[in-house]
Structures are given as structure tokens and as C-alpha cells.
Amino acid sequence: MSCITAFDQRACTMTELLRTTDIVLLSYVNSLLSDAGIPVLVADVHVSSVEGSIGAFPRRVLIKAGDWNESVAILTEAGLGAHLAESANERAHNRY
């Protein structure tokens, strides 16, 4: 059972992978990572009810810290490297 599941009482470290207002991109990223068996939490989804669905507030894609390298590799291979969160780009550069 993933630590992302709402009913799971275990804590895990989540890392922001992506931040965007593009719902098509969110769907694509979710599909890519889910197909690879990586659980995804899209945060800030319900903020749209507060903002009036104008898309002003970005949604965040969060993953378990342990899935970081694989997730970055999948999104980079899919041509989405430019969309990674600033922290993702910094971590990638600091590895080398």
C-alpha cells in the first residue's frame, strides 16, 4: 500500500516534481508515472473551487522521495524535463 493513500497512517516524505496550471499536462504526467507504477498525488486540485476555476493557481505533482530518480528520468525521456519543478532541476544539476 502506498503512503499516498489517504487511509494509510504511515508517514512518508513527498517531493514536488512539477507545478502547472495545464490540466492536460497534469493528466499526461499522471498517466506516465502511473503506468510506471509510481503513485502520484496532485495537490491543490480543490483550490479551483475557491479561485472560481480560472486556473490562476498551479497544481503540484507530488511523489514519494524514493521515486524521485525514476520519475525525473521518465518525464525527461518523455520530453517534459523543462516542466520539472525548480527543485527538480536543481537536484538534477547537483547530482553531477
Question: Could you tell me the CATH number of the domain that includes residue 57?
Answer: 3.30.70.790
| Residue 4 belongs to a domain | no
- According to the model, what pLDDT value does residue 30 have? 95
What is the tens place of the pLDDT at every residue in 58-82? Answer: 889 999 989 999 999 999 999 999 9
Give pLDDT tens digits for 16-40: 999 998 989 999 999 999 999 999 9
Residue 54 lies in a domain: yes
| CB proximity list for 15: less than 8 A, separation 6 or greater | 62, 63, 64, 65, 68, 87
Residue 16: closest CA among 96, 75, 56: 75
pTM of the complete model beyond 0.85: no
SS3 of residue 91 by DSSP: helix
Q: Give the Å distances, CA to CA, from 33 to 69, 75, 93.
A: 12, 8, 22
* Total number of domains constituting the chain: 1
Cα separation, 3 vs 70, in Å, equals: 17
